[in-house]
């Protein structure tokens, strides 16, 4: 969306891109918090209890709710956003279809190559049993994050 088009576009069309930008910021903060937690062992950047809950709720909205609305609500999209949406869905479908195959193939390959049993214990999280709620929630969040990242990448590439 060029600068002149952005100023003349209806507010709902500008809102689509603003929400997409906000969702990308939420994804970056979420990934940073996961890295921070892995490195330090402290959750939510070490924030106190009420603040960590607020940040967590905000991240849930930015990662789960907003992308869902952006995917589903076609009236928010203009022609350019709709074209980007369609271009995003193609790679997303391929990636989601390939994920289980890549997941199982990488585990099998690692087991086939590795001879040290102590290195295999580091992969316990890959085949850890999860509840249906955890699995569906993780898949939903990952799907939304990948959608936003691909959409924003295509938007960035078009602006170049």
List the chain domain ranges: 3-159
Judge whether residue 3 has pLDDT over 90: no
pLDDT at 117: 61
pLDDT at 65: 94
pLDDT at 4: 43
pLDDT tier, 87 (very low <50, low <70, confident <90, very high otherwise): very high
Which residues make Cβ contacts (< 8 Å) with residue 2, sequence separation at least 6? none
pLDDT at 105: 85
Tell me the C-alpha distance between 14 and 6, whole Å.
Answer: 7
Tell me the C-alpha distance between 101 and 81, whole Å.
Answer: 31
CB burial readout 6-22, b (16+ within 10 A) else e: eeebeeebbebbebbee
DSSP string, 127-159: S----HHHHHHHHHHHHHHHHHHHHHHHHHHHH
Judge whether residue 20 has pLDDT over 90: yes
Tens digit of each residue's pLDDT (9 = 90 or more) over 127-158: 677 788 888 888 899 999 999 999 999 999 99
Tens digit of each residue's pLDDT (9 = 90 or more) over 52-82: 788 888 999 999 999 999 999 998 899 999 9
Judge whether residue 2 has pLDDT over 60: no
Whether residue 26 contacts residue 63, with contact meaning beta carbons closer than 8 Å, is answered with yes
pTM higher than 0.85 for the full model?
Answer: no
């Amino acid at each position: 969306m060029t600068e002149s088009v952005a100023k003349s576009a209806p507010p709902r069309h500008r809102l689509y891109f603003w929400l997409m930008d906000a969702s990308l910021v939420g994804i970056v903060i979420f990934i940073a918090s996961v890295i921070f937690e892995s490195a330090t062992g402290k959750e939510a950047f070490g924030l106190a209890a009420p603040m960590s809950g607020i940040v967590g709720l905000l991240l849930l909205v930015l990662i789960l709710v907003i992308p869902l609305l952006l995917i589903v609500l076609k009236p928010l999209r203009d022609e350019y956003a709709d074209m980007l949406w369609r271009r995003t869905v193609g790679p997303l479908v391929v990636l989601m279809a390939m994920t289980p195959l890549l997941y199982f193939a990488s585990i099998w390959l690692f087991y086939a190559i590795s001879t040290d049993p102590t290195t295999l214990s580091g992969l316990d999280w890959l085949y850890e049993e999860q509840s249906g709620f955890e699995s569906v929630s993780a898949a939903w969040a990952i799907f939304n994050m990948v959608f936003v990242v691909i959409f924003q990448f295509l938007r960035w590439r078009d602006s170049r």
